[in-house]
Each structure stands twice: as C-alpha cells, then as structure tokens.
Amino acid sequence: MSDQGARPIGLFDSGIGGMTVLREVRRLLPAEDLIYLADQARCPYGSRSPDELRAIAAACAAWLIARGAKLVVIACNTASAAALADLRCRFPETPFVGMVPPVKPAASRTRSGVVGVLATPATLAGDLLRDVISRWAEGVRVIEQACPGLVEQIEKGALDTPETRALLRSYVTPLLEAGADTIVLGCTHYPLLLPQLRAIAGDDTLILDAAPAVAQRVVQIVKERSLMRDVNPLSGIITCATTGDPEHFANLIHRLDLPCDRVEQAVITIDA
Ligand code: DGL
C-alpha cells in the first residue's frame, strides 16, 4: 500500500450541506477513508465577505491536511467562490477540488432557454459563477436567486416545516413564473430539500446538483495522481468533525440518513 493512498480524502463545508457531496464520493470510492469537517460554529458562510471566507477556508483546509488529507474537496460553493485559487497557492502540495453551480449542463439541457440558479449571496457575487455563465450560457437567460435563511433552516433540522416550504416557495416561484424549466442547486445544502423543491417545481422541471460531477472529478484526480487506496477493505471509515455541537450534528445526519461512522469535536483557529 502506498503511504499516500492510505491517507483519507478530506472535505469541508459550513455545516451538513457538504455531506451531499461526501455521499457521492462514498458511492464512487467506497474503500477510501473520508474525513469531513463541518464548520458549524461559523455557519452560514453565505453572507460573509471574501476576505473572511478565505481566512476560514484556509483554517479548514489546514485542519484537514494536518489530519492527513491527501486531497481536499471544498464541498461548498460559497467557500469555493471566495477561496479556491487562494487555497491552491497556500497548499501547493495538496490537490483541491472546488465547486461551482452546474450552469454548464443546465444551459445545454434547458428547452425554454431560462435557467434559475439558487445560491448564497457570496456565491452569486463570485467570479467562478460569472466565468461559467459567460463561457457556457450564451443565449440562455440565467436568473440568479439568493436564498437567505434556507441554510439556517436546514442546519436546525427544520426541513419539512411550513416556514421552510414557504421560504423555498418564495425563491422558486419567481423562477418558474419567468419560464425557467431548469433549476441549478448552487449550494450543497439545497439537495437536502429536494422533496420540498420537487413538490413546488413539479416533475417536469429539471433540477441539477453538482455533487455527482464533483465526485467524478475526485475519482479522476485520485487515479491520475496514484492516490487510490490499494487495499480493499469492505468500506473505508467516514469520520465527521464539527466545530459546533457534535451531538446535534450526529442527530441531524442520522435523521437525514447520511453516511458517517463517527463524529468528533473540532477546534479551528482563524487567522485574522
Ligand atoms: N453549503 C454551502 C454552499 O455550498 C454554504 C452555505 C452557507 O453556509 O451559507 O454554498
């Protein structure tokens, strides 16, 4: 077994949202150990400034690298938008996989020519999304919808409540009324509201999540760089750590049926 291969794949997000990415990575790479950092002490990220987000992302990545991560997935559109380039410069030895709302497949699949993007304010303000829209969505109307409050509801575990459904409806209805037939989930928390979103948007609306493509990119890098774990246990261990309350985190992921073998407390220090 190569030393590299034996190390875990690291992922981080502001909370449980990035577990929707972890779930896909686990599906494609079941033998890999995964270590997930949920920075719930600083959640939500979506209204923070780029400078703040870069400092937070650097601390999260450093924590995962200190835990032996051989590759880091920024399982968060908001942190990717602010910090992907910065993290690659700070930690040149570590491969990073970032995320951007999947506007490219949306633009090629829409029939109405109108695509709605649900994301946090910081993701919508970032250059990554701007670049993707200008490169891949020519001739398509892309409507950006910030969704303040949704991440907080999800983190509370208030998924199927009248308040959450009303909030979601207030964000999605204008997109549908404008003719959107494709909705892009531009935040890793939002796939956790898929049943509620489907109930509002109907069966004919295409709803796109970037997590499967991100997991495929992880597989590709792991293979290219010979980082694959070359023993074959039945399954790798999934360790989750939170800067918030481990008991709340454990209850939440259990309720949402997200994969995890153990939950720990993490403490990270942010450089000002
Ligand atoms: N799940 C994150 C994202 O993909 C962060 C949301 C937040 O903390 O505001 O953007």
Instruction: Tell me: do 166 and 218 sit in the same domain.
Output: no
168-189 per-position pLDDT tens digit: 999 999 999 999 999 999 999 9
CATH code of the domain containing 200 = 3.40.50.1860
Pocket of ligand 1, beta carbon within 6 A: 13-14, 17, 43-46, 76-78, 120, 123, 151, 187-189
Residue 5: pLDDT band (50, 70, 90) is confident
Same domain membership, residue 259 and residue 127: no
Question: Phi/psi of residue 248, each to 5°?
Answer: -60, -45
What are the strands of the beta sheet with 206-209, ordered from one edge?
Answer: 141-146, 114-119, 182-185, 206-209
Q: Quick check: 81 and 123 in contact, CB under 8 A?
A: yes
- Residues 95, 136, single domain; the answer is no
For the full predicted model, state whether its pTM sits above 0.95: yes
Same domain, 186 and 197: yes
Please count the residues of the chain: 272
Asked, for residue 187, whether it belongs to a domain, the answer is yes
| 221, containing H or E segment | helix 211-224
Q: How far is the CA of 233 from the centre of ligand 1 (A)?
A: 33
| pLDDT tens-digit map of 33-62 | 999 999 999 999 999 999 999 999 999 999
- Any domain includes 270: no
CA of 79 to the centre of ligand 1 (A): 7
Q: What is the mean pLDDT of residues 106-127?
A: 97
81 Cα nearest atom in ligand 1: 10
Ligand 1 test: best mutation among 11, 12, 14, most atoms within 8 Å of CB? 14
What is the number of domains present in the chain? 2
Instruction: Locate the ligand 1 atom nearest the alpha carbon of residue 75 and give its number.
Output: 4
> Using an 8 Å Cβ cutoff, are 1 and 206 in contact?
no
Q: Which atom of ligand 1 is nearest to the CA of 123?
A: 10
Question: Do 108 and 199 fall within a single domain?
Answer: yes
**Do 188 and 229 fall within a single domain?**
no
Whether 2 shows a pLDDT value over 60: the answer reads: no
Q: Is the pLDDT of residue 6 over 90?
A: no
Domain boundary among 187, 209, 231: 209
Strands 96-97 and 182-185, bridge-based pairing: unpaired
Out of 190, 209, 228, pick the residue that ends a domain: 209
Residue 147 annotated to the active site: no
User: Of 209, 235, 256, which residue constitutes the final position of a domain?
Assistant: 209
Atom 9 of ligand 1: nearest residue by CA position: 46
* Residue 34, domain extent: 3-99+212-265
Percent with pLDDT over 70 in the chain: 97
Report, as an integer, the average pLDDT of 153-170.
Answer: 98
* 119 and 205 together in one domain: yes
- Assigned domain for 271 exists: no
CA 266 to chain centre: 19
Please give the distance, rounded to the nearest whole angstrom, from the Cα atom of residue 188 to the centre of ligand 1. Answer: 6
Cα–Cα distance, 109 to 113 (Å, whole number): 9
> How many Cα atoms sit within 13 Å of 202 on the Cβ side?
9
Residues 222 and 161 in one domain: no
Domain shared by 89 and 123, yes or no: no
Q: Please check the confidence at residue 1 and state whether its pLDDT lies above 50.
A: no
Active site residue 76: yes
In whole angstroms, what is the distance from residue 141 CA to residue 262 CA?
Answer: 44
Instruction: Tell me the per-residue pLDDT of 73-113, one tens digit each, with 9 for 90 and over.
Output: 999 999 999 999 999 999 999 999 999 999 999 999 999 99
For the packed helices 77-90 and 127-136, what is the interaxial angle rounded to 10 degrees?
A: 100
- Quick one: 227 exposed, middle or buried, by C-beta within 10 A (0-12, 13-18, 19+)? buried
The arithmetic mean of pLDDT across residues 137-147, rounded, is: 97
Whether the predicted pLDDT of 67 surpasses 90: yes
CB 146, CB 124: distance < 8 Å: yes
* Residue 77 is assigned to a structural domain of this protein: yes
pLDDT at 151 over 70: yes
Residues 59 and 127 in one domain: no
Distance (angstroms) between ligand 1 centre and the Cα of 190 equals: 9
Shared domain check, 93 and 136: no
> Given the DSSP bridges, would you call strands 182-185 and 114-119 parallel, antiparallel or unpaired?
parallel
- Compute the average pLDDT of residues 16-29: 97
In the set 60, 76, 147, 260, the catalytic residue is 76
Amino acid sitting at position 224:
E
| pLDDT of amino acid 237 | 95
Same domain, yes or no: 198 and 135: yes
